[in-house]
Copies of this chain bind each other. A is one copy, B any other.
Amino acid sequence: MDLDTVLDQATGANAEFARHTPQQRYTQLVEIADRLDAAADELVPVAMEETHLPEPRLRGELARTTMQLRMFAEQARTGEFLDARIDDPDPDFGSGPRPNLRRMRVPIGVVLNFAASNFPFAFSVAGGDTASALAAGCPVIVKAHEGHPKLSELTARLVSAALTDTGAPAGAFHLIEGRDAGVDALRDDRVDAATFTGSVRGGLFLAGIAAERPRPIPFYGELGSINPVFVSQAAVDARGQAIAEGFVDSFTLGSGQFCTKPGIVFLPTGHGLEGVLTERIGGKRTGALLTDSITSGFADRLKEIGDQIGGRMLVEPTTVDGCHQPALLAIDYPTFVEHSDNVLTEAFGPFSIIVEYTDVKQLTDAADRLHGSLTITLHAEEADADALDDLRRLAETRTGRLILNEWPTGVSVTPAQHHGGPFPSTTSPLHTAVGTAAVERFLRPVAFQNYFDSWLPEPLQEANPWNIPQKRSPAGQSKLWGRS
């Protein structure tokens, strides 16, 4: 199918898809999840072949992906994210008579998702962006990632069939392939919002297109993240070995190809953990990276770091059978300051940098140099509260998720999750790519003033036929405002 037809079908699906009931959306999303689960034995081997990721990881990721679909199904069924609000008419309202005003969120329209390479299930064709956009009632066009084309097509067929068989309109879901098609679609007026997970450079390029179209549209890009970790002396004293092992496990997870990989760790000088770190790394064997371009990009980045920064390579970069093995660099704080632009640039692969600090004040100064990051992690004891107070406050301004005494890799898909953060970790710091709040990216409010009840959409009707949460503002409240 050519791109023009895809876009026509998608816009053609808008009106009907937007009118589906919460129960219909629930059924559609659960059906997708069921079919993906049932096809696991077919999907996982293809994913292994195309991404070089190991089977247990991929089976786990698929399970997470279908759980996520079921979560959004449940969200859609409750109708909570419609955020239905009803203002009763109020002749005595503070700023003049208040009309019968009702507000809900409606689907934003056709959503274009640029799939990621590193999570071929959870951030790809049927991943969180697709699940949340479908839950919102938006037709979805996924631009397949070049790293796993066969898996993308296989997944897309299952998604399409599940949607068709549960009554979704023909244009509710499409897969497109190729960078040019993706860029052309993003430029097209028939697309109303877009998501992206990938590099800073790629994300900024696409964000520019979304902003410069004749009709600019929301662009939700999740770009690069360095995910700093700050370890206090007290934490090292209490459990240094566990921290060192946890760090190695985290930065090598998925061959270091997590957007939440800890890319820089601040340890007190004289931490004495070199032996634990090198031994733990020695026990890791990583396979091929996701794609050829990630493999060569990682090599280039290692060379750039080696050429420019100096420091002590605790574990030298090596390859085994052509595959990059985990490596670890240690630098002192002055070196970090001198090369902070370089150090704070993401290295996508199994590599991290230890910065050895001599004074807790350096942690605050370092935090002040940070760009926006998806996560910031602290390893500390409760008694560190005062010493780390400035660091903690500053860290809040630089990230979307703060983690204490755990590791940033692994992102729980829950109502309180926030997988986002200030630029450059995302292009939209108000929004999350993971968790129930992800659906908010694809909904826009519409208010209905003085409507006949029978003309209102179901969520705003007085009888509340869908039985969704309606938040009512009774008359008379404004009299209380500003009176203490």
**Residues of chain A at the chain B interface (Cβ within 8 Å):** 14-15, 26-27, 30, 33-34, 60, 63-64, 66-71, 73-74, 85-87, 93-96, 98-99, 101-103, 106, 108-109, 207-208, 211-212, 215-218, 382, 385, 392-393, 396-397, 399-406, 410, 412-418, 420, 422-424, 427-430, 432, 437, 440-441, 443-452, 454-455, 471, 473, 478, 480-482, 484
Asked whether A96 lies within 8 Å of B412 as measured between CB atoms, the reply is: yes
* A71-B94 contact in complex given A211-B211, A402-B446, C-beta closer than 8 Å: yes
* A452-B207 contact in complex given A74-B482, A418-B445, A445-B418, C-beta closer than 8 Å: no
Asked whether A382 lies within 8 Å of B454 as measured between CB atoms, the reply is: yes
**Chain B residues, Cβ within 8 Å of A217:** 423
Asked whether B382 lies within 8 Å of A429 as measured between CB atoms, the reply is: no
**Chain B residues, Cβ within 8 Å of A480:** 74
Asked whether A454 lies within 8 Å of B385 as measured between CB atoms, the reply is: yes
**Chain B residues, Cβ within 8 Å of A484:** 26-27, 30
**Chain B residues, Cβ within 8 Å of A99:** 406, 412
Q: How far is the CA of A74 from the CA of B482 in the complex (A)?
A: 7
Among A68, A216, A396, A445: residue with most chain B CB under 10 A: A445
Contact of A481 among B67, B392, B471 (CB under 8 A): B67
* A444-B417 contact in complex given A382-B452, A412-B96, C-beta closer than 8 Å: no
Contact of A402 among B96, B215, B437, B448 (CB under 8 A): B448
**Chain B residues, Cβ within 8 Å of A26:** 484
Asked whether B385 lies within 8 Å of A455 as measured between CB atoms, the reply is: yes
Q: How far is the CA of A440 from the CA of B399 in the complex (A)?
A: 18
**Chain B residues, Cβ within 8 Å of A406:** 99, 449-450
**Chain B residues, Cβ within 8 Å of A86:** 416
Asked whether A400 lies within 8 Å of B445 as measured between CB atoms, the reply is: yes
Q: How far is the CA of A279 from the CA of B405 in the complex (A)?
A: 76
Q: How far is the CA of A95 from the CA of B416 in the complex (A)?
A: 15
Show 5 residue pairs from A and B whose CB-CB distance is below 8 angstroms, ordered by the A residue: A63-B95, A64-B95, A98-B414, A400-B447, A402-B446
Asked whether A218 lies within 8 Å of B429 as measured between CB atoms, the reply is: yes
Q: How far is the CA of A450 from the CA of B407 in the complex (A)?
A: 10
Asked whether B70 lies within 8 Å of A94 as measured between CB atoms, the reply is: yes
Asked whether B416 lies within 8 Å of A473 as measured between CB atoms, the reply is: yes
Asked whether B33 lies within 8 Å of A416 as measured between CB atoms, the reply is: no
Asked whether B450 lies within 8 Å of A414 as measured between CB atoms, the reply is: no
Asked whether A444 lies within 8 Å of B423 as measured between CB atoms, the reply is: no
Asked whether B450 lies within 8 Å of A405 as measured between CB atoms, the reply is: yes
Q: How far is the CB of A481 from chain B (nearest CB, A)?
A: 4
Contact of A414 among B87, B424, B430 (CB under 8 A): B87
Q: How far is the CA of A58 from the CA of B370 in the complex (A)?
A: 47
7 additional A-B residue pairs with CB within 8 Å, beyond A69-B482, A95-B412? A30-B484, A401-B448, A403-B449, A404-B452, A416-B473, A422-B444, A432-B445
**Chain B residues, Cβ within 8 Å of A66:** 482
Contact of A473 among B33, B385, B401, B414 (CB under 8 A): B414
Q: How far is the CA of A64 from the CA of B417 in the complex (A)?
A: 38
* A101-B414 contact in complex given A450-B403, A450-B406, C-beta closer than 8 Å: yes
Contact of A109 among B68, B397, B450 (CB under 8 A): B397
Closest B residue to A424 using CB positions: B215
Q: How far is the CA of A458 from the CA of B45 in the complex (A)?
A: 48
Closest B residue to A375 using CB positions: B449
Q: How far is the CA of A356 from the CA of B177 in the complex (A)?
A: 47
Q: How far is the CB of A362 from chain B (nearest CB, A)?
A: 19
Q: How far is the CA of A60 from the CA of B96 in the complex (A)?
A: 9
Contact of A74 among B68, B106, B215, B481 (CB under 8 A): B481
* A396-B218 contact in complex given A103-B418, A211-B211, C-beta closer than 8 Å: no
Q: How far is the CA of A403 from the CA of B402 in the complex (A)?
A: 44
**Chain B residues, Cβ within 8 Å of A448:** 401-402, 404
Contact of A444 among B70, B385, B430, B471 (CB under 8 A): B430
Closest B residue to A98 using CB positions: B412
Q: How far is the CA of A57 from the CA of B14 in the complex (A)?
A: 42
Asked whether A95 lies within 8 Å of B68 as measured between CB atoms, the reply is: yes
Asked whether A416 lies within 8 Å of B102 as measured between CB atoms, the reply is: yes
Contact of A449 among B103, B401, B445, B450 (CB under 8 A): B401
Q: How far is the CA of A473 from the CA of B413 in the complex (A)?
A: 12
* A427-B93 contact in complex given A99-B412, A446-B400, C-beta closer than 8 Å: no
Q: How far is the CA of A404 from the CA of B441 in the complex (A)?
A: 28
